Structure 1
C-alpha cells in the first residue's frame, strides 16, 4: 500500500507538470483529435520531461504494488492521485481549493484507509485462456478509439479520450499481473508484455491529447472510471483477488468512497487562469 500511495504521489505531481507542458506545446492549428506530434513537441519542455521521470518512478512503484495487492486496491490508490494533484496545484500554481474539495481529499484518504484494512493478498489466477492476446487486442482497439475521437463533439470527445486513456492504463494493470516469468526469452514471447507496452503508450497518447483540447475535467472523470472499475472486476472475476475474511463490505465501501472522492476532484484536470496552460490529471 505504501508503494501504491507513493505511485499516486508521483503521478499526481507529474500531471500538473505535464498538462502545463501539453497546453504550451499545442499547435495553434491543431485539430481536436489525437495529435501524435504533440508528444514530440511536449518532450522538448523540461516540465514534461520531469513529469515523465516521475511517471517512470510511479510506474515502478505501481508494479511492486500490483504484485502484492489486489488490483481494486491499487486502482483506487492511483485514482487518488487526483487528491495529490489538487494539493500540488494549490501549492505550486495557486489554485483555490474550496472547503468542499478539501473534504473530497479527506474522503479519498478515508476510502483508501478502508481498503488498506480490508484488502487481502493479490490473487494468483491467470484468467481465461488467451487473456494476454485479448489484452493486446484491447490495447489496439484503444488506439483506434483515439483515432475516431476527433470526429465527436466537444464534451463527448473529451470523455471518450479520457475513458480510452483510463482503459489503456487498466490494460497495464492487468498485464502486470499476468507476467510471471521475467527471463528475456519468456518476455519476448509473452503477449501480456506487448499489451502492457501498447496499452501504456496508447493511454499516454490519448491522455496527452485530452490535456491539449476540450474539457480536461470531463476527460479526467472518464479516465478515473476507465482505470478503476474494469480492472477491479477483472481482478476479482479472473485473477482471484479477494478481501480479508468478513471484510468484503468494507473493501467495496472503501473502493466506492475513494473513487467518488476522486471524481469530485476532477476539475483539477485544469490549472487556474494565469498559468498559461491547463493542468491535467494522471492517476
Structure 2
C-alpha cells in the first residue's frame, strides 16, 4: 500500500508539470492519437520531469500490483487527483474550497479503510483468453483516440479521458497476467505487448486531453476507466479477495476513495468571468487539469 500511495504522489505531481508543458506546445492536428503533439511536448523540461516521475510511479505501481489486489491499487492511484489538487494549490496558487479539502479527506479515509480490509493478491493468473483479450483491449484504446478526434470539443475531452483510463486499466491487469520473467516466457506472453501498447496509447490520449481546454469530464472518465474495470477483472478472473469478514469495509473504502476523487475532478474548472476575460488560449492555460499515471 505504501508503494501504491507513493505511485499516486508521483503521478499527481507529474500531472501538473505535464499539463503546463502540453499547453505550451504548438497545437497539433486535433486527432486524439497525436504522436507529433507528444514529440513537441517532450521538448518542454516540465514534461521531461513529469515523465521521470511517471517512471518512478510506474515502478512503485508494479511493486504494489504484485502484492495487493487490483481494486486496492486502483483506489490508491485514484488518490493522485488529491495529490494534484494539493500540489496545484502550492505551485500554481490555486485555491481549494472547503468542499475540495473535504474530498481530499474522504479519499484518504477511504484508502485507510481499504488498506485495513485488503487481503493479499489473488492466486489466479488468468487464462490464454484473458491475455489475448487484454491485448485486444489495448488496441481498442487507439480506436477510441482516433474516433475522439472527430468529435466536438467537449465530447472529445470525455472520450480522450475515458480512453486513457482504459489504457491505464489495461496496464494494471496486464501486470498481473505476466507470470514469468524469463525471455522465453515473457516474449511469448500477449500480456507484455498489451502492457506496452495500452500504456503508450494512454499517454498519447492523455497528452492530447491535457492540451485541449478543460479536462474535468475527461479526468472523471479516466478515473472510472482505470479503477472500476480492472477491479472487476481482479475479482472475477484473478480471485482477488479481502480479509475475512472485511468485504463490506473494502467496498465502503473503495466507494469513498472513488467518490472523493470524482469530486476533486471538478477542481480547476474555471469560473465564468464576470467581465470580458483574456483570450481563449490564455484561459485554457489557466485551467488546471487533473490526472494520475
Instruction: Confirm or deny a common fold (TM above 0.5).
Output: yes
**2:187 alignment partner, SS class:** helix
User: 1:98 and 2:97 equivalent?
Assistant: yes
Give the corresponding residue for 1:137. 136
Q: CA deviation at 1:32?
A: 5.7
User: 1:280 and 2:289 equivalent?
Assistant: yes
Give the whole-Å Cα distance in 1 for the aligned partners of 2:3 and 2:74.
12
Number of residue pairs matched by the alignment: 282
**1:130 alignment partner, SS class:** helix
**1:147 alignment partner, SS class:** helix
Give the corresponding residue for 1:240. 239
Bigger Cα displacement from structure 2, 184-193 vs 121-130: 121-130
Give the corresponding residue for 1:219. 218
User: 1:18 and 2:18 equivalent?
Assistant: yes
**2:39 alignment partner, SS class:** helix
1:10-49 map, 5 Å: 10-27=10-27, 30-31=29-30, 33-49=32-48
Give the whole-Å Cα distance in 2 for the aligned partners of 1:124 and 1:93.
44
Which residues of structure 2 form unaligned runs of 5+? 272-281
1:135-214 map, 5 Å: 135-214=134-213
Give the corresponding residue for 2:109. 110
Q: CA deviation at 1:231?
A: 0.2
Task: Spell out, residue by residue over 1:100-157, the C-alpha distance to the aligned partner (whole angstroms, 9 max, x if none).
Answer: 1000000000000110010000002123432111111110011011001011122221
- Does structure 2 conserve the Cα–Cα contact (< 8 Å) formed by 1:216 and 1:269? no
- Does structure 1 conserve the Cα–Cα contact (< 8 Å) formed by 2:126 and 2:237? yes
- Does structure 2 conserve the Cα–Cα contact (< 8 Å) formed by 1:32 and 1:213? no
TM-score by length of structure 1 reads 0.95
Give the whole-Å Cα distance in 2 for the aligned partners of 1:269 and 1:63.
30
Calculate the aligned-residue CA RMSD, in Å: 1.7
TM-score by length of structure 2 reads 0.92
- Does structure 2 conserve the Cα–Cα contact (< 8 Å) formed by 1:11 and 1:54? yes
Which residues of structure 1 form unaligned runs of 5+? none
CA distance 1:144–1:157, shift in 2 (3 Å): same
Give the whole-Å Cα distance in 2 for the aligned partners of 1:19 and 1:271.
15
Give the whole-Å Cα distance in 1 for the aligned partners of 2:47 and 2:270.
15
CA distance 1:62–1:267, shift in 2 (3 Å): same
Give the whole-Å Cα distance in 2 for the aligned partners of 1:234 and 1:191.
17
Bigger Cα displacement from structure 2, 153-162 vs 105-114: 153-162
Q: CA deviation at 1:277?
A: 5.1
Give the whole-Å Cα distance in 1 for the aligned partners of 2:133 and 2:189.
12
- Does structure 2 conserve the Cα–Cα contact (< 8 Å) formed by 1:63 and 1:176? yes
Give the whole-Å Cα distance in 2 for the aligned partners of 1:72 and 1:125.
15
Give the corresponding residue for 2:6. 6
- Does structure 2 conserve the Cα–Cα contact (< 8 Å) formed by 1:82 and 1:268? no
Task: Spell out, residue by residue over 1:188-238, the C-alpha distance to the aligned partner (whole angstroms, 9 max, x if none).
Answer: 111100000000000011111111114311110000000000000000000
Give the whole-Å Cα distance in 2 for the aligned partners of 1:3 and 1:226.
21
Task: Spell out, residue by residue over 1:73-92, the C-alpha distance to the aligned partner (whole angstroms, 9 max, x if none).
Answer: 00000011000000000000
